[in-house]
Chains A and B, each alone.
Chain A
Amino acid sequence: MADHATAVAHQFDDVDQQREAATLGMWVFLATEVMLFGGLLTVYTVYRYLYARGFAEGSRQLDLWLGSINTVVLITSSLTMAIGVHGAQVGRRRVLVGSLLLTIVLGAIFLSIKGIEYAHKFEEGLVPGIDFTYAGPEAPHVALFILLYFMLTGVHAIHMVIGIGAVSVVAYLGWRGRFGPSYHTPVELVGLYWHFVDIVWIFLLPLLYLLHH
């Protein structure tokens, strides 16, 4: 492929068609993501309805402080992501690369805090199926809650890892000067994905951490 920044793949007629196709593709992909998390949240909803008490008790086992810090971290990363996209649109390479790097760092902080939370769960014997020592009448339902916590946040974390990878690629390409006012679709699409992953977290926070309040 030509090294010109606005190269059009052979199946497209022009750069507009290529951009529209890529954008629509990302939206369709996000629709599949909604269904993926939707399936998991359905399971969550059914059991929360059945075992409201056990779920509230389970929610109390989570660290609201770390959850809240992570929320701030992630929202900030959405901001830096948006600034990065703007940087690409107006052709300011340093703004683009700088804010994308900041986004990566914030994403890494989020994952680290998540890792600390997971480690605590292992220490406290709150990992169903592996090391679960929680006792009490509601224990089976607490286990179910913690399991769904791991599933939901785990799938979310996988998305974060993929997101960080994608942002890194775009940041590298941006540093090489591939994006400018005439061509920045990849930055926009990665931004779209990143915001989506953030929004998922905005749903997870109240459902998991704030349940007992």
Chain B
Amino acid sequence: MWGLPLFPPQASTLAPQVDALFFFLVGVSVFFSLLIAGLIVYFAIRYHRRSEDEVTEAVHEPMALELTWTMVPFGLAMVMYVWGASVFFTAVRPPPDALDVYVVGKQWMWKFQHTEGQREINDLHVPLGRSVRLTMTSEDVIHSFFVPAFRVKQDVLPGRYTTTWFNATKPGTYHLFCAEYCGTVHSGMIGHVVVMEPTQYESWLGTGAVEGSLASAGEKLFQDLACNTCHTGDAQARGPNLRGLLGRSVALEGGGTIIADETYIRESVLDPRAKIVAGFQPIMPTYQGLVTEEQLLSLVAYLKSLAGPTS
């Protein structure tokens, strides 16, 4: 139809779920729009004023009718709510086996780091049929990672990590947009997500000069910044053992516990005194200004690679 698209491509496992919800709401909306419009047109014609002195009969509303058109929309709204919330839970809960990709947004580009070490700008290559989890942050203002074909959107904030995930179901190249206004070239902060067959993806990973995995880059940084002098992993070390830290519950000095996630690691590097691990002295200096967001993410990847507690 003269190049007129009406519906975005459906290229993720989430997309059909969102679309089903969408069509349910479209159905309800069309029904009520036509009902109201139909009644208005019908009444307007049927009860058209025929003489200037026409007088109508006073009507008093039956309570049953009022309750009906209060409760029926309420019931429909609750269906929408519950359905929407269940789709939302799927959308915000990445499966545990997901492939990690680290994203840094800045005015006005997207930077991607794969765990295998590849780095990309504005283009993101992912394998078909595999869940991909994005851990994202911004170097400056708020951006938003939006891939319409996947029905996925998540704001990317400076100073913290946000995550989203998708599982692509169709090979192809899809639009990536920044959806949160971020300044002059906001509409230029775009790119593509390239979904590849797993075998193609493997060969793509093999191309280009890669200096090793992201975790190994993080490990190198860990040594360069001398983190390992305190975080030795020994019981008598000045810093806590970081092995298997991610996802673990950490007891804090002064009571309370926290589940160690990426944001906690980021904060502990930049503002070490914010949350002191129980039994340790607040002696760690801040690394604010010494590490970039991308380097921080490589540290996170490194710590993630140190899986399994060695007690």
Q: Enumerate chain A interface residues (CB-CB to B < 8 A).
A: 53, 137-138
Convert B273-300 into 0s and 1s, putting 1 for each residue whose CB lies closer than 8 angstroms to a CB of A: 1000000001000100000000000000
Give Cα A137 to B282, complex, Å.
Answer: 10
Give Cα A137 to B283, complex, Å.
Answer: 11
Q: List 5 A-B residue pairs with CB atoms under 8 Å apart, sorted by A's residue number.
A: A53-B273, A137-B273, A137-B282, A137-B286, A138-B273
Interface residues of B in 151-183 (CB under 8 A from A): none
Counting from the closest, the 3 A-B pairs by CB-CB distance are A137-B273, A137-B286, A138-B273
Interface residues of B in 207-229 (CB under 8 A from A): none
Inter-chain contacts of A138 with B (CB < 8 A): 273
Inter-chain contacts of B286 with A (CB < 8 A): 137
The number of residues on chain B lying at the interface, defined by a beta carbon within 8 Å of a beta carbon of chain A, is: 3
Q: How far is the CB of A48 from chain B (nearest CB, A)?
A: 14
Give Cα A137 to B288, complex, Å.
Answer: 12
Q: Is the interface of A mostly helix, strand, loop or mixed?
A: loop
Q: How far is the CB of B166 from chain A (nearest CB, A)?
A: 32
Give Cα A138 to B282, complex, Å.
Answer: 12
Of all chain A residues, which has the CB nearest B286?
A137
Give Cα A193 to B286, complex, Å.
Answer: 48
Inter-chain contacts of B273 with A (CB < 8 A): 53, 137-138
Give Cα A53 to B275, complex, Å.
Answer: 11
Of all chain A residues, which has the CB nearest B273?
A137
Inter-chain contacts of B282 with A (CB < 8 A): 137
Of all chain A residues, which has the CB nearest B285?
A137
Inter-chain contacts of A53 with B (CB < 8 A): 273
Give Cα A136 to B103, complex, Å.
Answer: 32
Of all chain B residues, which has the CB nearest A138?
B273
Convert B244-277 into 0s and 1s, putting 1 for each residue whose CB lies closer than 8 angstroms to a CB of A: 0000000000000000000000000000010000
Give Cα A207 to B230, complex, Å.
Answer: 39
Give Cα A137 to B286, complex, Å.
Answer: 8
Of all chain A residues, which has the CB nearest B272?
A137
Give Cα A27 to B136, complex, Å.
Answer: 48
Inter-chain contacts of A137 with B (CB < 8 A): 273, 282, 286
Give Cα A137 to B285, complex, Å.
Answer: 9
Of all chain B residues, which has the CB nearest A140?
B271
Give Cα A184 to B32, complex, Å.
Answer: 58
Of all chain A residues, which has the CB nearest B254?
A53
Give Cα A208 to B273, complex, Å.
Answer: 23
Give Cα A97 to B18, complex, Å.
Answer: 71
Q: How far is the CB of A17 from chain B (nearest CB, A)?
A: 34
Q: How far is the CB of A192 from chain B (nearest CB, A)?
A: 41
Q: How far is the CB of B127 from chain A (nearest CB, A)?
A: 39
Give Cα A209 to B286, complex, Å.
Answer: 29
Give Cα A137 to B284, complex, Å.
Answer: 11
Q: How far is the CB of A209 from chain B (nearest CB, A)?
A: 23
Q: How far is the CB of B311 from chain A (nearest CB, A)?
A: 31
Of all chain B residues, which has the CB nearest A53?
B273
Give Cα A79 to B282, complex, Å.
Answer: 50
Give Cα A138 to B273, complex, Å.
Answer: 8
Q: How far is the CB of B160 from chain A (nearest CB, A)?
A: 12
Give Cα A178 to B273, complex, Å.
Answer: 63
Q: How far is the CB of A52 from chain B (nearest CB, A)?
A: 10
Give Cα A53 to B253, complex, Å.
Answer: 13
Give Cα A53 to B274, complex, Å.
Answer: 9
Give Cα A137 to B275, complex, Å.
Answer: 12
Q: How far is the CB of A144 from chain B (nearest CB, A)?
A: 13
Q: How far is the CB of B132 from chain A (nearest CB, A)?
A: 32
Q: How far is the CB of B108 from chain A (nearest CB, A)?
A: 28
Q: How far is the CB of A109 from chain B (nearest CB, A)?
A: 41
Give Cα A53 to B282, complex, Å.
Answer: 13
Q: How far is the CB of A79 from chain B (nearest CB, A)?
A: 43
Q: How far is the CB of B268 from chain A (nearest CB, A)?
A: 13
Give Cα A53 to B273, complex, Å.
Answer: 10
Of all chain B residues, which has the CB nearest A137?
B273
